Amino acid sequence: MRNDPIPSWSRRTGNILLLVLPALLLPAWLSIADFDLVDDSYIPMVYARNLAEGHGIVFYPGGERVEGYTSFLWLVWLTLSGLLHISYTMAAYWTSLVMGMAGIALAAFLYRQVYHPEASQRELWWLWPFAAGAAVLCDVSHTAWSASGMETTTYAFGLLGLAYALIKPWPVWSTCLFLLLTSLIRPEGLAFGLLVLIYWYREGIFTKSAIKRFVFIVVLPLGLFFLFRWIYFGYLFPNTFYAKHDFGGLYLLKRGMEYVTYFFRPRPLFFFAVFALWLESKSCRTRSGLLWGFALLQIALVTAEGGDHFTLHRFLVPAIPFFSILAIRGMDLCAHRLVFGKIKPENKYHLRLAQGILGILVLIILPAHGVQLFEFSQDTRCNFAQGARYHLSVVQWTRSWAKVGLWLKEKYPQGTLIAVINAGAIPYFCELNCIDMLGLNDVTIAHTPARFLDLCHPGHEKSNADYVLKQKPQFIQLFPLLFFMSQPYPKDKLEEMITYPAQIEMWNDPRFHAEYTYKIEETPMGFIAYFERQFEPQGRDDG
């Protein structure tokens, strides 16, 4: 019989609270904050719809093959949803939400597995794992991206699951399978294979049998996947890589460091993670080191990528559960060193009093951490410090772009070629042939050398006005915010709205002003301003 001071019914109740309660609070948090789908979440939906309808992996029927999405498994899942007649938007939203909830629960469970596998009433075995999950819940970045309809929280769950598989430990083949799936969710996942091999070596699992399984379950399938990509698309990496990162160098590294700096600045809670290094016991040092490895490797990868244009540090959301666990562990160790380690076991009154006070402090600190993140916003060169309130504006813009797409669907016949800056909700809802002027979904623009890097618009550096104008699109959405205005926007003030290189280059091209007319149309929802070609609608110029 197991000698456990906690009754079995209490232990089961505690486990339910640890795993379920913080996760169940996520939908309530979302209903208050009104986070929702973002524009880029519609991009893989466009590809999934075209693939499900038999057009292939293209941005519009009859268009070029292009890998304008980042997550292959996300595309597969959305395509399967379409084939099963499940709404793409509902599949994307609920999957990201469920995976966000699963990540919160897994953070709590992973904490207990690493630091409190044996229930101990004295050491508050129930509070610290619960606090780890609650810390992830209170982080507004994780919450917002749980409602984004993107693969972000699925990837974060994949990394947590991979860490859990190593610590548990799972059989080698299942760990390899988890690594493979995580690598197909986002390309950066493959880098964590290095941590897997290092941990296996340290734990004595690095055997010939393990290496064979790693090769056959991870390396070989991914090799075949890269071969498929090369044959089908003609390139070794996704088109998004060339649109965002191919110019590389010191510029991206500096920008990535700035991105990471503004990730940590509003998160003083993560300072406690330092104590998880300083005070960690020998028995937990290796497993804590593994969690640090996951967190720091994600930081390093994002730094090398140069950050991301989206608010709330989307690329660093997968690191949030790891830093949350380590920060709570730091608090756990400080409490043990300063309080519980000094109270004699027979002094139960002092013990209960200390536990109660500590529980109250944790329940005050974590919501305060969430409020600080929600309100934090600071003007920076690359807008890396825009917080939750700005993200809510992004959500509202996305909803408006969806309405613009429906308006375009009624305005132009199917097959009309248009050019857009926002290549998510508009292409999804209008179902017209779209040129992505920022290049995420266009091979030619993605491979055009970046210009105006000093403007610092991550993911928006690419442009090719000459290429776009040669295609003769009937409609050009050059200014993303010229929709549903209360009054017409004057043409002489348009230049004040120019931000991205694609806008600068197009605006400075004489052909654009010669061939396109600025139009304002009144709709029941307000005025929409756009540029329309002066001549009769024409298709793509193959010459």
Close Cβ partners of 379 (under 8 Å, ≥ 6 residues apart): 385
So what's the pLDDT on residue 8?
59
Percent of the residues in the chain that have a pLDDT greater than 70, as a whole number: 91
Please, what's the b/e burial string for 240-252 (b: 16 or more CB within 10 A of its CB; e: otherwise)?
bbbbbbeeeeeeb
The answer on pLDDT for 126 being more than 50 is yes
DSSP H/E element including 350: helix 348-375
Q: Are 127 and 13 in contact (CB under 8 A)?
A: no
Quick one: pLDDT band at residue 2, thresholds 50, 70, 90? very low
Rounded Cα distance between 296 and 273, Å, is 12
Q: What single-letter amino acid sits at 194?
A: L
From residue 84, alpha-carbon distances to 47, 49, 92, 482 in Å are 16, 12, 14, 37
The helix, strand and coil proportions of the chain, stated in percent and rounded to the nearest 5, come to 65, 5, 30
Mean pLDDT of the region 236-254: 85
Our measurement of the distance from residue 155's CA atom to the centroid of its chain's CA atoms, rounded to an integer in Å, reads 8
Contacts of 306 (CB under 8 A, 6+ apart): 244, 245, 251, 252, 253, 255, 256, 259, 458
Tell me how crowded residue 235 is: count the other CB atoms within 10 A of its CB.
Answer: 16
Calculate mean pLDDT across residues 238-260.
86
CB 459 within 8 A of CB 309: yes
Q: What's the confidence (pLDDT) of residue 107?
A: 95
The yes-or-no verdict on residue 191 having pLDDT over 90 is yes
Query: At which residue do the structure tokens 């909700």 appear?
Result: 425
Integer Cα distance of 384 and 260 in angstroms: 9
Omega within 30 of 0 (cis) for the link into 5? no
Domain ranges of the chain: 8-33+67-375, 388-533
Helix (H) or strand (E) holding 32: helix 8-33
Per-residue confidence (pLDDT) for residue 18, from 0 to 100: 64
Distance CA 276, CA 332 (A): 9
Question: Phi and psi (nearest 5°) for 422?
Answer: -95, 105
pLDDT of residue 411: 94
pLDDT score recorded for residue 1: 39
- 118 band by pLDDT with thresholds 50, 70 and 90: confident
Please identify which residue in the block is written with the tokens 């296996």: 200
Residue 325: pLDDT above 90?
yes
**Per-residue pLDDT tens digits for 332-380:** 888 877 776 666 666 666 667 777 777 788 888 888 888 888 888 777 7
Return the closest-CA partner of residue 503 out of 521, 483, 481.
Answer: 481
pLDDT digits (tens, 9 = 90+) for 509-542: 999 999 999 999 998 889 999 999 986 544 444 4
Question: 94-112: b or e for each residue (b if 16 or more CB lie within 10 Å)?
Answer: ebbbbbbbbbbbbbbbbbb
What is the rounded average pLDDT of the residues 456-485? 91
Taking the C-alpha atoms of residue 508 and residue 539, their distance in angstroms, rounded to an integer, is: 24
Over residues 142-158, the mean pLDDT reads: 96
Strands 526-533 and 417-420: unpaired
- Which of 155-165 are b and which e, b meaning 16 or more Cβ less than 10 Å from the residue's Cβ? bbbbbbbbbbb
The per-residue pLDDT for 345 is: 65
Q: At what angle do helices 193-203 and 172-185 cross, to 10 degrees?
A: 160
pLDDT at 124: 62
Q: Give mean pLDDT, residues 319-338.
A: 90
Q: Which residues pair with 434 in a beta bridge?
A: 418
SS3 state at 520: strand
**Is the pLDDT score of 7 beyond 60?**
no
Is the dihedral angle over the CA atoms 460, 461, 467, 472 positive or is it negative? positive
Q: Rounded to 5 degrees, what are φ and ψ at 433?
A: -80, 120
Contact 386, 377 (CB under 8 A): yes
User: What pLDDT does residue 234 have?
Assistant: 94
Q: Give me 453's structure tokens.
A: 């890097």
Alpha helices (H) along 237-319: 239-244, 249-264, 275-278, 282-305
CB distance 34 to 392 below 8 Å: yes
What local confidence, expressed as pLDDT, does residue 340 receive? Answer: 67
Q: Residue 536: what pLDDT?
A: 55
Main-chain dihedrals φ then ψ at residue 258, nearest 5 degrees: -65, -40
Mean pLDDT, the chain, rounded, equals 89
The CA distance from 54 to 51, in Å, is 5
> pLDDT digits over 397-452, tens only?
999 999 999 999 999 999 999 999 999 999 999 999 999 999 999 999 999 988 87
Confidence band of 80 (pLDDT split at 50, 70, 90): very high
What are the b/e assignments for 50-61, b being 16+ CB within 10 Å?
bbbeeeebbbbe
Six token digits for residue 147:
């409602």
Structural tokens at position 366: 């974590």
